[in-house]
A and B are shown apart, each in its own frame.
Chain A
Amino acid sequence: MNPLHLHMPALVRHAGVWEGAYRTVDSDGVEIDRHASRIEVSFPDDGPHAYVQKNRFTWPDGRVVEAVHPGVYRDGRLWWDTGLIVGQAWQGDDRTCILTWERTDTPGSHLYELIVLAPDGLTRARTWHWFRNGVCYQRTLIDETKVS
């Protein structure tokens, strides 16, 4: 059985397919990117990864970016080390999860994310804080609805 069912039940409530929008704004609130998102979150019972997230981002000009973020469970947290992303997620209260990670293609920076999942499990609101040298220089605002 996947250990996250026992140790991170608030995270397991995110299982499913989510569609929404990512908006990135600079520290003055100016929007610098917007794209649609489809994210599949699964918690495999077998194999090396307790968590697998598949992202598909699409822009109005037709660009598509896909990525897979497998994570492992250890010491009450979920950990990623995918080559591009090194980070961890843990539970806040019943509704929230917190993540922090670094991108290996952006040295000297780190991110934090707060996710608030609705009690009915059908919508979630997420915000990333992007830091460079300790100062938040942009945010990504994400709102999603569970589609399956």
Chain B
Amino acid sequence: MSGIREGMPVLARHEGVWEGEYIHVDPDNNVIDRHRSHLQCTFPATGPHAYHQINTYIWDDGRTEEIHFPATYRDGAIWWDTERIDGKAWEIDPRTVCLTWTRKDMPDAYLYEMIQLSADGQDRARTWHWFENDQLFKRTCIKERRVS
């Protein structure tokens, strides 16, 4: 028992399956990519990872990508150290989770994200801010609705 549900009650409310759309825009707000998304947020009761997120991205041309983000719980935050990312998420108020992470394939880059979960737990709004050499070079605007 990791204590994650007690330590991160807002994150625990994200448990479930989310579908939506990712819209990637450059600093002048031109759309540079968009795709549908299917995310599973799970809290395994056993094993080394207190949180496990599986993202599936689906483009209109038929391309798909599936990425696993297992995380550990420690000190009121969840921590990732996967092949793809290194980062953490923490709660900042009863509606909001913040994240920051680096991508191992982009050594001079880092990201910040803010997520708000609706009071009924059915909708969430997320925005990623992508920085390279401390300059914003992209945002990813995400809208999602709970499907289960």
Contacts and interface: CB of A to CB of B under 8 A. Distances in A.
B134 A118 contact: yes
Q: Is the interface of B mostly helix, strand, loop or mixed?
A: strand
B57 interface: no
Given A92-B92, A100-B93, A119-B134, A127 B114 contact: yes
A129 B134 contact: no
Is the interface on chain B under 10, 10 to 19, 20 to 34, or 35 or more residues? 20 to 34
Contacts, number: 81
B76 interface: no
A92 B98 contact: yes
- Of B29, B119, B122, B131, most buried by chain A (CB within 10 Å of CB) is B29
Contact of B34 (A29, A114, A123, A143): A29
Given A98-B96, A129-B125, A129-B127, A116 B112 contact: yes
Interface residues of A, number: 31
Interface in A90-134: 90, 92-93, 95-96, 98, 100, 112, 114, 116, 118-120, 123, 125, 127, 129, 131, 134
Contacts of B141: 25, 29, 139
Contact of B134 (A31, A123, A134, A135): A123
Contact of B31 (A27, A29, A129): A29
B143 interface: yes
A73 to B, nearest CB: 18
Interface in B94-148: 95-96, 98, 100, 112, 114, 116, 118-120, 122-123, 125, 127, 129, 131, 134-136, 139, 141, 143
Contact of B100 (A93, A100, A131): A93
Given A25-B29, A92-B92, A116-B136, 18 more contacts: A28-B23, A29-B25, A29-B34, A29-B141, A98-B92, A98-B93, A98-B98, A116-B112, A116-B131, A125-B136, A127-B129, A129-B125, A131-B116, A131-B118, A131-B125, A134-B118, A136-B116, A143-B136
Interface of A: 23, 25, 27-29, 31, 34, 90, 92-93, 95-96, 98, 100, 112, 114, 116, 118-120, 123, 125, 127, 129, 131, 134-136, 139, 141, 143
5 contacts: A114-B129, A119-B134, A131-B125, A134-B119, A136-B116
Interface of B: 23, 25, 27, 29, 31, 34, 92-93, 95-96, 98, 100, 112, 114, 116, 118-120, 122-123, 125, 127, 129, 131, 134-136, 139, 141, 143
- Top 4 closest A-B pairs, CB basis? A136-B125, A134-B118, A114-B114, A125-B136
